[in-house]
Chains A and B, each alone.
Chain A
Amino acid sequence: DTGVSQDPRHKITKRGQNVTFRCDPISEHNRLYWYRQTLGQGPEFLTYFQNEAQLEKSRLLSDRFSAERPKGSFSTLEIQRTEQGDSAMYLCARSQPPNTEAFFGQGTRLTVV
């Protein structure tokens, strides 16, 4: 158990629909990251939060993507107007400063048809 729960585990959606994923880390006082992983590649950084503050966003995070962590506990990642290229595994991870190691959830597999 890595202390990170993600929901749903799998999502199939039609192109153009909006989807929202949720991540629940075990502790409120930590960093929370979102990564995206496509087949045959390592995870790529999307964004991270320190408590409720979103401190960094990757250029991969287009205007169709938005992430929130309203109370510094759980986080949501929304993708609007999904495209086939959004199909990927979306991974959430937690870390506890000052340590750097990140503990990942099981991921949400998104398929856009």
Chain B
Amino acid sequence: GQQLNQSPQSMFIQEGEDVSMNCTSSSIFNTWLWYKQDPGEGPVLLIALYKAGELTSNGRLTAQFGITRKDSFLNISASIPSDVGIYFCAGRPEYGNKLVFGAGTILRVKS
């Protein structure tokens, strides 16, 4: 079945640093979404991308939909302690309405 490879698995960075994470797939996706999840809570939508090449920002977050439609990245600029959490990429395949999720990137921030 479709799988998303998300990297890195975890990051431990200094407050103020920029963060970059990405997702790749061998299949084409029509939509890319990025979520953040805190312990014991459901994922919260951060950014949605609908077109190949699309670059979208949400505050300090920027995400791009890869030209090949097989990858996406998320950047966080000037990280702060509340950025701590697990970030998931999710994609909607060409056919069907379900989302396929990556395994997540654990972000820890040292203040």
Q: Which A positions have Cβ atoms within 8 angstroms of B?
A: 2, 4, 6, 31, 33, 40-45, 48, 55-56, 58, 91, 93, 95, 99-107, 109
* Inter-chain contacts of B48 with A (CB < 8 A): 99-101
The answer, among B30, B41, B45, B50, for a CB contact under 8 Å with A102, is B45
A42, B102: Cβ atoms under 8 Å?
yes
A107, B33: Cβ atoms under 8 Å?
no
CB within 8 Å for A42 and B104 given contacts A104-B44, A107-B41: yes
CB within 8 Å for A106 and B41 given contacts A42-B88, A42-B104, A101-B48: yes
The answer, among A91, A100, A105, for a CB contact under 8 Å with B31, is A100
The answer, among A2, A56, A109, for a CB contact under 8 Å with B98, is A56
Q: How far is the CB of A13 from chain B (nearest CB, A)?
A: 18
CB within 8 Å for A41 and B45 given contacts A48-B98, A109-B40: no
* Inter-chain contacts of B96 with A (CB < 8 A): 56
Count of residues in B whose CB is under 8 Å from the partner chain: 26
Q: How far is the CA of A4 from the CA of B41 in the complex (A)?
A: 12
Q: Which B positions have Cβ atoms within 8 angstroms of A?
A: 4, 6, 30-31, 33, 35, 40-45, 48, 50, 88, 90, 92, 96-104
Q: How far is the CB of B30 from chain A (nearest CB, A)?
A: 8
* Inter-chain contacts of A99 with B (CB < 8 A): 48
Q: How far is the CA of A42 from the CA of B6 in the complex (A)?
A: 10
A104, B42: Cβ atoms under 8 Å?
yes
CB within 8 Å for A91 and B90 given contacts A41-B104, A45-B100: no
- Which of B96, B98, B103, B104 gathers the greatest number of chain A CB atoms within 10 Å? B98
Q: How far is the CA of A99 from the CA of B40 in the complex (A)?
A: 27
11 A-B pairs within 8 Å (CB atoms) are namely A6-B42, A31-B97, A42-B102, A48-B97, A91-B42, A100-B92, A100-B99, A102-B33, A102-B90, A104-B44, A106-B42
* Inter-chain contacts of B45 with A (CB < 8 A): 2, 101-104
**Cβ-closest chain A residue relative to B88:** A42
**Cβ-closest chain A residue relative to B40:** A109
* Inter-chain contacts of B103 with A (CB < 8 A): 40-42
